[in-house]
Chain A
């Protein structure tokens, strides 16, 4: 009797294990490639297990298996993208605009994300609330704080420096303090550890909302006049059009999924949206100017 019971138990358990291990075959297979410099998704790099679960959850929306790979070398990402090993690539903006013509050959659709319900991002140059601190033309022997992996901020800083000081900012400033967090960038100025800082507009607003008294000590010196994108994603032209279509269609439902919701919260973005080539005209010009100035004053 006991043997029969044990046998039934074993069959039951193994059948459950087998059932759990069986992954449902999905229609599409999407591979995401993320350039670490693109900054936004890089924070997931160390949370592989979690991201896989979330992506699987998200993939269920498109009836697709989603894999994500992080690339230290953006060129390598491009290579894989070009070779159709990566269906969706997230490039950092400088690389994208630098190699846009190449990338355009392999891409089908541009997309980006809405952060704080805004498509574009602006940057502030902030400094101590003192007459002594007047902006980019007053960088000499000053300390500037900036977020370490915010390439856009660095490009805006350097482009302005190129334009005004004819030098890369780091060469004019006494010290460029790179910080990992926006708030540290701002706090450096607030607590007098830095004279200036470049900070994302939304980050400024958020941090100031926590302590409006910051404005008494820190002032906004200049705002970027360019509409920066947080990152740029491109869909490989060889990706099944239906899958790509579904990707954008179902992205609005992302928040309804547990995994999708967690991704949105972690990245603090609202949704994915498609970008037309026209949307990139201004940025394209800006980056090209930057590359030119960089080349000129390097």
Chain B
């Protein structure tokens, strides 16, 4: 309330009107006072003049008795006269009061006779109280004969002043009450529209847009209210539109959510289907890879078997020749059968070796890296020899590692076969594959290098990706190196990297050392 607009306007208007009224009352009081004093002056002047008129002869002929009696009568008849002093220029001074009079001898008069009229309210030394003192010079024929000093009682003056103050206080009280009402009315008139606007703005701030400012004035506040109402209308319609939009949006979101849900469900189904499809494809690929491996294995077996088969054929030819020659005896047969058995045992062993090699390990196990490399090389040895590819081995001691030996052997086979294919593809003379086995930090390392010219730079980063192959269709699956990387890095916690050398490609396979696992 203290800081409200109403109280501020009320205070300003109240103070302003009060100041004006106070000034008016003050001026009124001053004028009234002057008027009362003036009425005293007129009365005193009238008395003095009357005394002069009726005593002019007495003044001139120095008839103090007449003067005294006349003035005494005046004083006694006029209740307002406190004292009346007559001073003749060349005579005594008579001071007449209602209950006494006195005479001041000429030689005892100290003050001079005033030549002009003067008056004021003062403390009288004659009456010993505050009186209105009027000094009136007595002129006859422009000659100053003396003066009269009329002292009038302030009883009537005080009564009128008191009455005036009472009236002023009454008026002030009346004006004060009027001022309160006027100020209240003006403050209310000015502040009401603004307070109404404020209340409505508060309602609007709270979100209630149903309220309107009911102000019908034609002033700025009326315009403001109309503008305000118009603004609320706009705001309300905007809010309605916004709500509608919001509802629409919500509806659309719901719809979209439903669609998304459906889509999601479909997607899941699609993804599942795709995954399943991919898995199937992968299975197909793996199957293909297996088939390819089997093909390779069969090829290798065929290479392995070529020599014993030839030897077996020769044994058979020798038997036939010996028979024809009649030289087939028991010893010869025994020797030939031994030879055939040896050869068939070797061939059978070759099949076992390949079967063992391609048989996946179920658990990780320690193995001697050198031995595994030797066995692997044995598998490809015939094929390499057939294609006149030299194999160079650099082995430095026995290195025991920990992993899946068959899977690792398959990895090495993949690398070696790729090297062989590259060497064949590029028809490299003095084609060579070198294998280095070494121990490095916590790994047993197998480095396979060829001189087939290396892997093109643009595909170097993609060779371990699944289904990536540079071979002709039907010759490569794109699964070999991908599977090799998975075997080495994921299954055996090793590392398989490929890089180019000046003359060819280099594959480095790192297998954790067994000793570290033992700890």
Contact = CB atoms under 8 A, between A and B. Distances in A.
Interface of A: 181, 183-184, 187-188, 191, 193, 209-211, 213
A211 B65 contact: no
B68 A187 contact: yes
B101 A210 contact: yes
A97 B103 CA distance: 43
A213 B103 contact: yes
A211 B64 contact: no
Contacts of B64: 187, 191
Interface string B337-376: 0000000000000000000000000000000000000000
A211 B98 CA distance: 11
Contact of B99 (A184, A191, A210): A210
Interface string B255-287: 000000000000000000000000000000000
Interface string B90-111: 0000000001111100000000
A213 B99 CA distance: 14
A208 to B, nearest CB: 10
B69 interface: yes
Contacts of A193: 65
Interface of B: 64-65, 68-69, 72, 99-103
Contact of B102 (A183, A188, A209, A213): A213
A184 B65 contact: yes
Contacts of B65: 184, 187-188, 191, 193
Contacts of A181: 69
A211 B72 CA distance: 12
Contacts of A188: 65
A211 B69 CA distance: 13
A183 B102 CA distance: 14
19 contacts: A181-B69, A183-B72, A184-B65, A184-B69, A187-B64, A187-B65, A187-B68, A187-B69, A188-B65, A193-B65, A209-B100, A210-B99, A210-B100, A210-B101, A211-B100, A211-B101, A211-B102, A211-B103, A213-B103
A209 B101 CA distance: 9
Contacts of B99: 210
Residue of A187, A191, A213 with most partner-chain B CB within 10 A = A191
Residue of A183, A209, A211 with most partner-chain B CB within 10 A = A211
A188 B102 CA distance: 15
A191 B64 CA distance: 7
Contacts of B100: 209-211
Identify the 9 closest CB pairs spanning chains A and B, nearest first: A187-B65, A210-B100, A191-B64, A211-B101, A191-B65, A210-B101, A211-B102, A211-B100, A184-B65
Contacts of B72: 183
A193 B66 CA distance: 12
A183 B67 CA distance: 12
Contacts of B68: 187
A206 to B, nearest CB: 11
A184 B100 CA distance: 15
A187 B72 CA distance: 12
Nearest to B68: A187
Contacts of A184: 65, 69
A213 B64 CA distance: 16
B45 to A, nearest CB: 26
Nearest to A192: B64
Given A184-B69, A210-B101, 8 more contacts: A187-B64, A187-B69, A188-B65, A191-B64, A193-B65, A210-B99, A210-B100, A211-B102
Contacts of A209: 100
A279 to B, nearest CB: 35
A129 to B, nearest CB: 14
Contacts of A213: 102-103
A147 B455 CA distance: 174
Nearest to B101: A211
A184 B101 CA distance: 14
Contacts of B69: 181, 183-184, 187
Contacts of B101: 210-211
A184 B73 CA distance: 12
A210 B98 CA distance: 9
A193 B102 CA distance: 18
Nearest to A186: B65
B183 to A, nearest CB: 51
A187 B69 CA distance: 9
A106 B64 CA distance: 50
B314 to A, nearest CB: 179
A210 B72 CA distance: 11
A178 to B, nearest CB: 14
Contacts of A187: 64-65, 68-69
Nearest to B64: A191
A112 B66 CA distance: 33
A11 B119 CA distance: 59
A126 to B, nearest CB: 15
A232 B482 CA distance: 175
Nearest to B62: A191
A44 B438 CA distance: 173
Nearest to A188: B65
A184 B102 CA distance: 15
A191 B99 CA distance: 20
Nearest to B92: A191
A210 B65 CA distance: 15
A184 B99 CA distance: 17
A211 B65 CA distance: 14
A134 to B, nearest CB: 24
A289 to B, nearest CB: 35
Residue of A187, A188, A209 with most partner-chain B CB within 10 A = A187
A244 B408 CA distance: 179
B74 to A, nearest CB: 14
A203 to B, nearest CB: 14
Contacts of A210: 99-101
A183 B72 CA distance: 11
B60 to A, nearest CB: 16
B129 to A, nearest CB: 19
A181 B73 CA distance: 12
A193 B262 CA distance: 148
Nearest to B72: A183
A289 B109 CA distance: 52
Residue of B64, B65, B99 with most partner-chain A CB within 10 A = B65
